[in-house]
Amino acid sequence: MENIRHKDVKPMMDLMAKKIFSDTEITAEFIRDILELPVESVKILDGTQIHVTTSKILPDFTTQVDVLAELNDKTQVVIEIQVAYQTDFIKRLWIYICEQVSKNLDSYKGDNILTHHLAKELIPVYAVAIAEENYFEDDRAIHNFSLRDSETKEELKVRVKGIEEKRNLVQIAFLELKKYKPEMKASYNKVRWMELFGNKPFTHKPGNIIAKADRILDVKEWNKEDRAMFDEYIRAWDGWNAHLAYVEESREEALEQGLQQGIEQGIQRGREEGIEQGRAQERVETINMIADLVKGGHLTKGIGASKLNLSEQEFEKYL
């Protein structure tokens, strides 16, 4: 039996993740730990709207949550929860960052700031992805990317308005939950988040903030409205998973039928091509035999051509 903390809920579900990250204290600690930023406070700009019905149309489950947080120094952080592998997810994450940078610049333009002054107003936009599937081939469960010199590995940092120290132009972190191991050597401040979202037993005392986040996963403590929403969501989630299972089963059945049909068609085609090739070979041998008889004077050219249903002109090229 799998060793997990909660049997009835998944921390990576859209509803759960939104409830966890709607708590600004938890989100601040998460960003502080994963991106190692000096966070004092956080404001959630997007991703807190969890009171959305799922009774008719279930959201796309490839990307479960899109949380946009703003730190006290105006740095913005996109947090993405990825429950299924998606080939272009990393590129899509980069698009999210670029879109937010563009959106910020548009707001500055709206304040009548001249174009050549926009760079002075630029604020960093970073991202953190928590993924159930693996995107990197190594065994490291935590990756943190930024712009660096190709030889010295020096980070490319710039002065940003309102921030005392220089900052990275971009920073993207990934937590790959499948690679989690209790004996991981990374800082436990990072590992504990993998244990929280991976629904694993805590290997050390996780601290007050993680304990607070873990309590959010206890549905019994929710108010009546949220519990009703959770029940509705679970029904939709189960229905969606059943649909995916049916689609996968149908796809495998279709593939098997297609494979069998392909084999049968291949055999038939091979048989037909073999017969055709045999006939062609017989034709060549017959032509050569009659051509030899004509060359030996046993048949006239006209008789040889007629036996092959060829004109004398066509037959001459075989002589």
SS (H, E, C) 78-138: EEEEECCCCCCHHHHHHHHHHHHHHHHHHHHHHCCCCHHHHHHHCCCEEEEEEECCCCCCC
61-91 confidence digits (pLDDT tens): 333 447 999 999 999 999 999 888 888 999 9
What is the reported pLDDT for 64?
A: 41
Residue, of 56 and 10, whose pLDDT is higher: 10
Tell me what the mean pLDDT of segment 200-222 comes to: 91
Residue 300 pLDDT more than 50? yes
CA separation for the pair 92, 127 (Å, rounded): 11
The two three-digit tokens of residue 150, written as one number: 């190709």
Q: Which residues contact 308 (CB under 8 A, 6 or more apart)?
A: 286, 287, 290, 315
CA 184 to chain centre: 25
Residue, of 58 and 288, whose pLDDT is higher: 288
Residue 26 pLDDT more than 80? yes
Q: Which of 3-12, 110-119, 133-142 has the lowest mean pLDDT?
A: 110-119
Residue 29 pLDDT more than 80? yes
